[in-house]
Amino acid sequence: MKALTTLALLAGTLTAGLMAGLFAGFAYAVMPGLRRGDDRTFVTAMRRINEAILNGWFLGCFMGAPVVTALAAALQWAGDGGAALPFTVAGLVLYLVVFAVTAAANVPLNERLAAAGEPDGAAGLAAVRERFESSWVAWNTVRAVAATAAFGCLAWALVLYGRATA
């Protein structure tokens, strides 16, 4: 039971960390870089990124993080999670915030960007970008902070669980 709990907690920590890195990287590098480009470059790049990100690596981490973290919490609850359990639960709750923000804000914005089709001229591109960029960046910042906090909680839970079972 301890080995399975450790494995689930480790997998939750790693997947949450990978997602935190992705969302933070968008917050401090990708979006500021794209902000410096013209409207056509911005719209085209975001469309291509949104298409490319739907792959097994992303989906495995994004969907897997809450599953294995919930498993780790359940195993700790059933066993003696001790001091690690509250941090595991906090990590799960924070990651569920990431999941909710992505589903309720970022994905609908991505879908609207894709559905905009090919805008006519510079004014059309500027309007498409205007309806997308600031909201998407703000919500991505929320999920980057929540994912980073989830990762921190899970990393600390892993330390505490390791100490308790050593």
| Predicted local distance difference test score (pLDDT) of residue 120 | 74
Q: Which two tokens stand for residue 23?
A: 């969302």
Could you read off the pLDDT of 63-81 as tens digits, one per residue? 999 999 999 999 999 987 7
DSSP state of 106: I
Alpha helices in the chain (DSSP H): 2-25, 31-35, 39-52, 56-78, 84-101, 107-115, 121-165
d(CA 128, CA 90): 37
At 166 the pLDDT is 79
Overall pTM > 0.85? yes
8-state DSSP, 28 = I
Tokens at 2, concatenated: 């301890």
CA-to-CA distance for 66 and 56, rounded, in angstroms? 16
DSSP 37-62: S-HHHHHHHHHHHHHHT-SHHHHHHH
pLDDT for 81: 74
Alpha-carbon distance of 31 to 22, in angstroms, equals 12
Phi, psi of 55 (to 5 degrees): -140, 170
Could you tell me the mean pLDDT of each successive run of 10 residues in the chain, 166 residues long? Answer: 95 98 98 97 96 97 98 94 94 98 98 88 90 98 98 98 90
